[in-house]
Amino acid sequence: MAECDACGKSENMPYECKRCGGQFCTEHRLPESHDCPGLNAWSGGEGGGALGGGPSAGGPNAGQGPSASGGIGSIGTEDDSGVFDDPFGTGGWRGYFRNNMTFVFLVAMWLTFAAQLFLRLTNEGGIYGLEGKLFMVRTTSPENVWTYVTSIFAHSGIAHIAFNSIALYFFGPIVEKRIGSKRFTALFFGAGILASVGSVAVPLLLDEPMAGLGASGAILAILGVLTILNPDLRVLLFFAIPMPLWVLTIGYGVLSVFALGVGGPGAGGIGHVAHLSGLLIGLAYGQYLKEQGVTAPRKLQFGGGGGGGMGGGRRRF
């Protein structure tokens, strides 16, 4: 028995919206009946508006424009070469990325971790080796701007990447389907980069040397968005402890603030500044989305509603 994401009505055989991935009753099964965020996902020709103003039905370009998940519109003009096509369009190989960026990021994380392990085996690991130069944000090298991106996908060890992978796997697809792959990608990179910058800037201001890496800033932004959209969503901490999502989020925030105040930015070997930065970005963006009418499912759809265990953290050295 499932519940309609729009009205909460119980349905034995709910309808799944192909645009946003939600489950709905007969009354709300059509995209226009549940304020689907993907309702305006198609735009045609050069005039695709920033708010998803596509061509009229039956027009020469109807249904042929590039997809803009979440109703953002075309990112450029249509071109036979495909150079300016929407990267998340449904045509050709680009269609594989639509609603699948969560898994693209997961693969990127594990490939990066494999590269880190290789560097460690060749004695190029650690802060001062090639691994540090390529994948770690460091107060000693704030000018290495590429690390503000690469550090998002790098991790200190197997437990670190495992925890972050579980959290991204459970929460990422829900948010991505609700806001579209373009906005989800922008959220992941935007929050991750700002978390990286913050994890360097604050220790520099405090004159405390530090190096960090990990996807936690981006993942906590995703968690913040979902918390605003549905604070009462039931999750299982470490697959065992049931609680509403808002309790998990507040608990994580309070823990980071306390650790930051008592032990500094790197207390316990965790980048608390990155955590708080990502979480605050997610909460703010979630409020914006909520005001735009974006909703979240009433229940998680993974194995009866259990949320993944949180606790990997962005690591420092």
136 & 269 share domain: yes
123 & 234 share domain: yes
76 & 168 share domain: no
273 & 130 share domain: yes
164 & 89 share domain: no
288 & 174 share domain: yes
What is the structure's pLDDT at 176?
A: 92
What is the structure's pLDDT at 187?
A: 96
What is the structure's pLDDT at 10?
A: 74
What is the structure's pLDDT at 50?
A: 35
272 & 295 share domain: yes
84 & 24 share domain: no
Burial class, 115, CB count within 10 angstroms (exposed 0-12 / middle 13-18 / buried 19+)? middle
69 & 133 share domain: no
What is the structure's pLDDT at 96?
A: 63
List pLDDT tens digits, range 38-52. Answer: 665 443 333 333 333
164 & 263 share domain: yes
214 & 232 share domain: yes
Backbone angles phi and psi of 11, in degrees to 5: -135, 130
Q: How far apart are CA 163 and CA 165, in angstroms?
A: 5
What is the structure's pLDDT at 53?
A: 37
Does this model's pTM top 0.85? My answer is no
175 & 240 share domain: yes
Residues of the chain short of pLDDT 50, as ranges, are 41-84, 302-312, 316-317
Cβ contact 171:180 at 8 Å: no
Residue 307 maps to which CATH number? Answer: 1.20.1540.10
Domain that holds residue 85: 44-96
List pLDDT tens digits, range 52-103. Answer: 333 333 333 433 333 333 333 323 333 334 434 556 655 555 566 677 899 9
State which H helix or E strand residue 118 sits in.
helix 101-121
Burial class, 112, CB count within 10 angstroms (exposed 0-12 / middle 13-18 / buried 19+)? buried
Cβ contact 23:15 at 8 Å: yes
Strands in 13-153 per DSSP E: 15-16, 23-24, 137-138
